[in-house]
Amino acid sequence: MKKNKLQILTNGIIKENPVLVLVLGTCPTLAISTQAINGIGMGACVIVVLTCSNIIISALKRIIPDTVRIPCYITVIATFVTIVQLVLKAYAPSLDKALGVYIPLIVVNCIILGRAEAFANKNSVIDSALDGIGMGLGYTLTATVMACIRELLGSGTLFGAPVTANLFSPFTILIMAPGGFFVFGCLIALVNRITKGKVKDKRANKCIGCPGAEFCSDVNKEGGCDNK
């Protein structure tokens, strides 16, 4: 299944949005999307880490032995996460403080490992870089939209500037965990409506139970893939 370059880039934005369609990286998204600025900051970190790790992993895919690929991926990802965190600490300490533990946790973020395993592992360096940027943009967009909704309704501000905060008391539950899940669910419903649930239908064959089924290119083949 060959895709052109533009498709690879735009795939991550809605059609295979990593958070809302693949449902990867839910925990950091819910945790940081309390303020719009955090969504953008976290998104930028994810774009950098995802693109760089996709490039390196794609370039090394013939050297890395299959049996130890996950530790190798983690090492590559952890390297970039460390770089990003040190840069943040030096130049944007307030953002580093706001995102807290979720920056080092990008190492185990399912989106990055998932894309390494499902895409960079099988595709060329350029395609992998485009996929990293596209998926990263999808993540950024989702986290920012979620954060805007939650910040506006939950604290009455937008990017830290008061919007409705002085007009009526904000509904603070939205910036807590239950509100996060609620907004998350609403956005998933919205994306399902836009894509008419096409992505979900793919799972209706032999790949049921495989967490990668939703974005796996082998999913429509007879008998699925050989990753049992």
Partner 1 sequence: MADKHTNLIVSSAPHVCNPADTATIMRDVVIALIPALAVAIYVFGFRALLMTAVCAAACVFFEWAVRKIMGRENTIGDWSAVVTGVILAFNLPVNMPIWMAVIGCFIAIVVVKQIFGGLGQNFANPAIVGRIALFIGFATPMTTWAVTEKMSQAIINNAGVDAVTGATPLAMLNAGAAELPSNLEMFLGTINGSMGEISACALLIGGIYLVVRKVISPAIPVSFIATVAVLAAVMGYDPIFQVCAGGVMLGAIFMATDYVTSPITTKGRIIFGIGCGIFTMLIRAFASYPEGVSFAILLMNILTPHIDSITRSKLNGVPKKGGAEK
The binding site for partner 1 (CB under 8 A) comprises 168-169, 171-174, 176, 178-179, 182
Element (H, E) at 119: none
Positive/negative CA dihedral, 37, 154, 111, 215: negative
Dmax over CA atoms of the chain, in Å, equals 60
Positive/negative CA dihedral, 8, 11, 16, 20: positive
The tokens for 120 are 């960079």
| Distance from C-alpha of 183 to C-alpha of 180, rounded to nearest angstrom | 5
Q: Tell me how far, at minimum, the Cβ of 126 lies from partner 1, in Å.
A: 43
The nearer residue to partner 1, 126 or 171, going by C-beta atoms, is 171
The nearer residue to partner 1, 159 or 182, going by C-beta atoms, is 182
Q: Which residues pair with residue 157 across a beta bridge?
A: 162
Pick the closest to residue 52 from 63, 62, 44 (CA basis). 44
Q: Tell me how far, at minimum, the Cβ of 205 lies from partner 1, in Å.
A: 27
Q: Tell me how far, at minimum, the Cβ of 190 lies from partner 1, in Å.
A: 14
Q: Tell me how far, at minimum, the Cβ of 172 lies from partner 1, in Å.
A: 5
